[in-house]
Structure formats: C-alpha cells, structure tokens
Amino acid sequence: MASESRATRRTPTIHHITNSAGDLDSEIGGEDFSRYTVHLPPTPDNQPMPMEIAMQAVGSGEQYVSSSMFTGGYNRVTRAHSKKIVDSDPATVVAEGSFCELHGCGAKMMTNRQGIDVFPCECGFRICNECYRDALATGDGFCPGCRGHYRGLDVSEMASASRTLSSKYDRSLPVAESTELLMRNHSNEFDYTQYLYETNKSYGYGNAVWPMDGANGSRHDIGGDPKFFHDKQWKPLTQKSSIRAALLSPYRLLILIRIVVLGLFLEWRISHPNEEAIWLWLMSVVCEIWFAFSWLLDQLPKLCPVNRDVDLNALQEKFENPSPNNPSGRSDLPGIDVFVSTADPEKEPPLVTANTILSILAAEYPVEKLACYVSDDGGALLTFEAMAEAASFARIWVPFCRKHEIQPRNPESYFNLKRDPYKNKVRRDFVRDRRRVKREYDEFKVRINGLSDSIRRRSDAFNTREEVKILKRWREDNSDEPMETLKIPKATWMADSTHWPGTWTVPAPEHSRGDHASIIQVMLDPPSAVPQNGTEGDGNSMDLSEVDIRLPMLVYVTREKRPGYDHNKKAGAMNALVRASAIMSNGPFILNLDCDHYVYNSLALREGICFMMDRDGECICYVQFPQRFEGIDPSDRYANHNTVFFDVNMRALDGLQGPVYVGTGCLFRRTALYGFEPPRLQDNPDCCSCCFPRTKKPATVASAPDVDPEDVQLREDDEMNIALIPKKFGNSTLLVESVRVAAIQGQPLADHPSIKYGREPGALTMPREPLDASTIAEAINVISCWYEDKTEWGQSVGWIYGSVTEDVVTGYRMHNRGWRSVYCVTKRDAFRGTAPINLTDRLHQVLRWATGSVEIFFSRNNALLGSPRLKFLQRIAYLNVGIYPFTSIFLIVYCFLPALSLFSDQFIVQTLNVTFLVYLLAITLTLCALAVLEIKWSGIELEEWWRNEQFWLIGGTSAHLAAVLQGLLKVIAGIEISFTLTSKSTGDDVDDDFADLYIFKWTSLMIPPLTIIFVNLIAIAYGVLRTVYSDVPEWSHLLGGVFFSFWVLAHLYPFAKGLMGRRGKTPTIVYVWSGLIAISISLLWVAINPPSQNSDIGGSFQFP
C-alpha cells in the first residue's frame, strides 16, 4: 500500500502555518517544489554571484527555513510551522560587508587611513588591496563585479606599482586540462575529482594545480614539484608502532607454549578416565575441551597488537595554513556530521543530552564544517524544548570555552571537577567570566529541570481553554448528543499555542510513541565561512572581541512512525539521520554518539580525521574510539570500565583488519555506510608475512551470476555510478546525488605520489550552500516511515537491521566488504559516558549484548559465512563474538563439578598424581604469565584484569545462559526479544555518588549464580564433616573439591557482595528460593549416591 502511492508523494509540498491559536490544520497558501537543483562548486566556467550577494538574494528563504519547524509524513503534506529560533551567526550581516567579494580570497577589503571601506568602482563591489592590484595588472583595469573600467585612477601607474609590489608572486596560475587530470591516476580507475576541476580557464591565485613551467611552458599536474615546495617535506598525519619486541615476542611464545600444554593435557585427560566416577570425568573433559577451544578463539586475535599516534600540527599545516592552493588559509578539512541519539526523556534525562550537545558544539573543529543532529526517537516535546534551551545557552558557553581553552567542554563535568579550576589560567578576566558562566549554567539547569512541569501546566491551561470552547459550541448547537460522548483530546501544547506534532503526554491517535509525524527543526543556522568575532565586553558581559562566536549547525530530528511500519529501533533512527543529514549538510564523515557520551577531548574529532586524511585513509571505513566511563565505584565491582576489552582486545584487533564497532564513539566514512566497497582491495597478510598468508584471488562479480564474461573485468567502483542504482537508496534525487559528492570530499589530499585516490587541495574551502525550504522538505521526505520500502536500507545500506546488537553487525558488514577500521586511543580520553553500576542493570546490559551475539551466530552474519576479504584472524575474532555466550552452558556445569565431587567423595581424576599437578601448574603459570604481559603492553592494572575474570564468570552463569535460551527461542519458535532502555543517572545525589551501586532490584538472572554459591557452600561443609569423621579419610579428594569450590566462590564474590546492598536489604525471597534449590539438589544427590556405610555421619537417605 505504501509503494502504490509513492508516486503521489514524490513531490514535497510545503504549507506555511502561522503561530495562531486557531485552527491548527488551516493551510495558508502553498508552494510546490517539483524540481531540484544540484549545486556544483564554483569554477571559472561556473561563476555564480558572489556569496554576499547570493546571501542577500536568498536571505528571505534562509530566514524562512531557520524560523520554521518542518513536519510531514505518510500521506501528509509537508508543513512549515513558523518558530523563533536562535541565530548562530549574529554578526553575519555586519561583518560580511568588510571582506573581499572575489571568490577564493576572503581578505579584508580596501580601507583608507581612517579605516573606512573604500569602493574603487561605482558599482560598490568590495575588493581587497591585493585583488585590486591583480585587476589592474592582469585584468586591464576591469572591475570583477560589473566588468567596467575603474574610473578616476591612473591605471598604468597603478599597474606598474602593482607589478613592483607583487613581483615575487605569480598569480596567473593556469589550470591543467581535462586529459592531464585524468593522467594523475596511472590505473584505469575513474577519477571523480575531474568534474570538480575540469575547465579551460584560470582560477587566479589559489589554483588547484601547479602553474606553467617558465622554462618550457608545459603544465604540471598536482604530482609535480614546484619551486615553492622544493624544500617542503611531506609529513604523514599518523604513525603506527608495534609493541616492543621484548614484550610481544615472549607473549607470542607463551601463547604457543600454552596451546601445546593444553593439547597434551587434554590428551592425557582423555586417555586416563576415572573409572570410579566416569560420569564426573566425562562432564569435566567435555567442559575442558570447550574451554580450551574458547580460549583459543579469544587468544589468537591478540597476536598482533599495535599502537597509533597522530600529528595534529601536520594536519593543521596541510589543511588550514595558507598555501598556493588556499591563499586565505580557510580550512580544507572535510565536514563531519555528529549524530546524537535519544529515545526516552524519562530514562535518558534531557540535561544529560543537553550537556552532550554543548560539548559537541564547542569541539575544536572548523565551525562551518561541523553539524550536529539530535535524533529524538520518542518524539517528546520535553527533549525538543531542552535542545532549544541548550542552543540558547551555547551562545555563551561555546565562546567561553574557546576564549579560555576549557577542558572538558561539558559544563556539568567542568563545574564538578575536583581539581583547582584556576590552574594554568593567566587571563585576568577568567575569574569574572567563569562566575558569570557558572551562574548562567545554574539558571540553565533550573530551566531544564522545570521544563516538564512547565509543559504540563501549559498543556493543562490550553486543554481547559479548548474544553470550554467545545462545550460552548455544544450548547450553542443544542445538540442531542450526550455530553459524555464528547471526546476532547488531552493534547500537548508548545509555547506558541500550537499542538506538538510529536508524541503527547497522554497518547492519542497520530500522537503516540509509535504513531507520530516526522519533525525537523534547524535550531542553529549553518554558520558563515568567515570567522566572526564578538563585541568588547562591559562590566556585565564577556569580552569576545578576539573570539569566534559562530556556532555549528544544530538540527532536531524526529522520524515518522506509523502503525504497520517496522521502525527498527535505534538502527532505523540512525538511518533516518544518515538520509536527512545527506540532504542538509552531507558531511563525508559521521560521528555517532549516545546521548550520555560527551566530548571529553575537544581535539578528538581532529585526531580521528587524521586517520581518514592520511595515506591509505580512503580504505578506512571507521575510526573507533575507546569507551571511557565516569561515576563508577573506585573498586569497579562489576568491571564496568571493561578495560580488558578496550585496551587489550581492541588494540590487538587494530593490528589485523581493525576493531569492531561498539555502538558509540565511532567516526564513520559516509560512503562505507552506504554499502560501497573500498576503492582498492589490498591482499595484505593478516598480521605479518609469516603468519597465515592469504593467496591473491582475482576479483569477480559475485552479485551477478549471469553477466557477460567481459563485464567481469569491469572495475567494482562502477557501482559508484549512482544514477544506475537509485533503488538502493530510494527515490530522493538529492540523496542520490549527494552520494558522489560525499565520496569525493572524503578522499585524502592528492599531495603525495603514493596517494592513489585523492582529491585536489583547496576543493573544500568554498562556503556551504544555504538551506532553503525545498531542501528541508526533501529531508522530511527521506525520514518518512514509507521511504525505506523496496530499498536496501537496513539490508546492505546504513545500520543493519535484525539484531539487538546492530552495531557489531554493521561493522562486520564493512569488514566483510574489504574495508579496514582503526582504533584511536588518545592521550586524553576522547569521549566519556556513564555505565550502569547497579548489579541488575549491569546484568541486563550484558544480557542484551549476549543475545545479540547469539542472533549473529544463527544468522547469515556468522563469520564462518564471511567473504574471502575477511582476514583469517579477523574472522576468528568475529566468530568468537558469536560463540562466547555458549560457553555459559559448560561454565555452569563446571561450577557445579566441585560440589558434586565433594558430595560423591570422587574427583575428576582418579588420584591427584604428579602428572595432573604438573599439567595444572603449567596451565596456571602460563595463564598468569600471559596476564602479566598483557598488563604490561596494554597499560591496564592487575585489579582490572582480575575484575574482568570475576565478571566473566558472573555474566557467564547468569546473563549469557539466558541469552542462549532467548536466542534459541527466537530461532526455533520465532519469539521476538524486547529490551528496555537502561536508565541513565543524572548524578544529582549529593549524599552518595554511588547510590545506584547499592540499589537491589530482583531479577531471575540471579538464580543460577545464587544456586551455585549455596550448593558449593553446603558441599564444602558436607565434605569437611565427612572427611573428618570418616575412618579412612580421603584428603586428596577433599583437597581437590574444596580448592575448586573456593575458586568458584572467589569469582562470585562481587556478586554476593552486591546482593547485600548497603544495609543487607536483600529480599527474603532470594534466600528462600536459593536455599530451597540448594537443599533440594543436595538431598537429591545424597539420595542417589548415599555415603559409604563406614561414614560416621549417618545412614543413607531413603525416599518414603
């Protein structure tokens, strides 16, 4: 049904709605946008009007966009609701008039000695001194604006002076011809940069290619070596270094030794069964074989750990310093679109989300290249108004951070720092500015905290007014309809006296969490490309005369949801953001953050982009940052920091094909998310030339079995011809056209012969096109609920659907296509977030991860089914991701084996002989030695490693087992699994920072580990008493059983401690059920296998 009416919805229609409190559905005029314009970068052959004039021409349209909230959806027209929003560029109108209007310049215009602007031509065209001299010297005295002669000036004299002043510069830089641009790539690949620079005219100063050689008049391409750069050395942006051989070589040797020892031990165990307790021996051997296999899967990908460093100075020098290709020194860095996702303001407090947004807006990245999109999947007015408050507060917070170099740039974290805030601050006005901003932030927090009550009171007042109107109309009509049948909706109202188009507090048709319109609100306009300083302060305001006060673009997005359409949870929301951002800003890179993960290091975005812009960066699909957490108890009882995974496993994967995607803190290449393959596929070995080499195979077209043999030889990059595959992305022309632009802009600079796929320097210094109403209307169109019908979104494009761990699957698909990823560990944590420190919440978090792994194992995303482009050790790592929950089955059995040994007076081996003890000692010592070496090369602490081991057993005996059962139910019976959001702490408990740690909430996940604890305790007591009172005590059996029981209990100690809470408030039902289960198991075993008759404990248990 959705596909049948798609043709009728293809052309967006915008209806303007005024801020009246009358009929909300009234349509005042309308404007249809049936044609779309693809904007090409300005070249000498394509010269649009100057930016300042263009801004004036579209001023009314841009103001219309920035002051309106756009809504729409399935079978609904797109409407623009007029709103008053924050202007992110308050000084644009005043400041833009002081700069040269000639494209590619941006310098200050001509002024006299008094500093007053001088207009050489009567047309009023603004021009700087340097460009004016160029016009006189090379343009025969013509004005670049009106093409008329400059009057009242001695042109020849000025031209002569101009040549004298600028004799050392040659600013007539001709552009290379089209055929020569294609010669850059010595292979047969299509050069996408040619359409940006193909021209026969001159760019003037700042040409993208080198000038003519004065000796022979020939032209050089970008790979040439002009005199200007003769002494300039090319600098890499990143550096990869392996772990010291003194640590890595013994580490690999120990892994090999332990593999041999495990093999010999298992062979000995199989060949020496315990005839007296064959069942006990069999269970233990099966578990030990699985543990050895599981350890091997976990350990092999750790063979090649690496470290990486970045050079931020080289990045600035290459992309932001003045050069012949960028004379104005404008940033040539690619754009970044930051996605922040939230779904429920009750579980994810708006204040936390607002602080995350503020830290993003204050990040150290070119303002005009940064855009922030907030996805509110719940469609809540509370989140919308909180973001509006954050946009308002950003006008004072962001300049304050830039002026005083504040770290971190999350106001809540900054003002709660335990260190001296005045350390290393030398500006005299810092104290005054900090006090003012602190006061403003306190007021901001009060407003955020009061939004919920404000919305409720406002809605109650408007609903009461509407009820009075309806009742009055009912009385005037003298209707026979009973008053009880009148249905008066309890709407949620905005501050401008209109209905909120999203989810209402009291759900109603078309206004519930699963049924509401799509909403886009540009809260901060796209900034200008020219820095704008603030004004000098007085006694009540900050002095911002030397601070850039521009703010990045901020957009609020709520996708449409309707009954009958699967919204695909977080993955669907992220894909909606991908499409909307492609229409509005089209940043070549996307940074994904959860609402509670803020930017802790303001330079993190620059460090991440270093990897994308370096040599071979075009083959990197994403840069994953480690997750770091705040608000965790000092002992890290439940291993919330997860340092073993982030500092050991992820560093090791970085030496293979790259780390896995963990759901947040990840910088994506947009074209990789679109499902394309990397520009070149390298046949590199997996970790080193001597380990698991892979033979080179010819490329084939696997997706087209019936193609002509000649077509097989075509490059796989032909898939980038978006015009041939519009069904892959949907019916949006703007979206399809944006893909090619994003692919080109995301390429590294072609400033080195080894860079095979690069773009020309200076291509991204042009200002961004302003937003208009048709662009926003198209963005509304692509986030509608029906848009993904019969497309590949969620299948091979964007975030992948069908798993509760969509992050792992999405990263796996990219690696499976041949992409590689990079792990960026910054000296100062890049991002910080919160983690559930409560035992119950932590177990449910682990349950969700493990359930997703089980789903991956039983799906086509199993690493065993991966393509040959997935490297061998990377395949093992992904295989381990899908297999590790199944270890819980064997782990639970093994945790009961010590108790069963004590009850039966038997052990897993016949006797504790020397051979068994030697094997046990060797396995233990190699494990400890590997742990020590891992601690050394990863930088973690011994306590963190031990906490990880403890929680491995806690999670394995609780959440992992439940995940296996749920996964099997989904695969076999088709029962869908649903999870709730984990509540984020607001940190408002001033009495105890770790209050959540002591909160006990019962869950069935606690039953298995509780039972293991009680059974082992009872078994220890039983075994000790039996051995003590026995005529012939079997101390070896007791020693083995008690030792392994204590090993199990030591791992479960944090779990037992968490049950006690702060004051031992564990529910009685926990002890009752666990005690009953433990006693039942104990009595059942005694009944089946009673103690020997010579025991003094008593006779056997007899059932009645």
Active-site amino acid positions: 377, 807
Q: Are the beta carbons of 835 and 629 closer than 8 angstroms? A: yes
Q: Which residues pair with 241 in a beta bridge?
A: 307
Scan for tokens 């007076």, then name that residue.
905
Q: Which residues pair with 117 in a beta bridge?
A: 111
Q: Is 908 exposed, middle or buried (0-12, 13-18, 19+ CB in 10 A)?
A: buried
* CA 1072 from centroid of its chain's CA atoms: 45
CA distance 538 to 545: 11
Pairing, β 13-17 against β 28-32? antiparallel
Between the two ends of the chain, the Cα-to-Cα distance in Å is 68
Q: Is 744 exposed, middle or buried (0-12, 13-18, 19+ CB in 10 A)?
A: buried
| 569 annotated as ligand-binding | yes
Q: Are the beta carbons of 842 and 638 closer than 8 angstroms? A: yes
CA-wise closest residue to 104 among 765, 770, 769: 765
CA-wise closest residue to 746 among 613, 880, 895: 613
Burial of 362-399, coded b for 16+ CB within 10 Å and e otherwise, reads bbbbbbbbbbbbbbbbbbbbbbbbbbbbbbbbbbbbbb
| 594 annotated as ligand-binding | yes
| 570 annotated as ligand-binding | yes
Pairing, β 620-624 against β 518-524? unpaired
Q: Are the beta carbons of 699 and 681 closer than 8 angstroms? A: yes
| 347 annotated as ligand-binding | yes
DSSP assignments along 695-719, one per residue:
-------TT-TT--HHHHTS-GGGG
Q: Collapsing DSSP states into helix, strand and coil, what is residue 185?
A: coil
CA-wise closest residue to 579 among 725, 737, 717, 363: 737
Pairing, β 76-82 against β 68-73? antiparallel
Identify the helix (H) or strand (E) that includes residue 1056: helix 1053-1060
- Report the amino acid identity of residue 290: W
| 348 annotated as ligand-binding | yes
CA distance 235 to 511: 56
- HEC-encoded secondary structure of 582-623: HHHCCCCEEEEEECCCEECCCCHHHHHHHHHHCCCHHHEEEE
Q: Is 114 exposed, middle or buried (0-12, 13-18, 19+ CB in 10 A)?
A: exposed
Both tokens of residue 621?
A: 């699909």
- Name the binding residues: 341, 347-348, 377, 569-570, 594
- Name the binding residues for Mn(2+): 570, 594
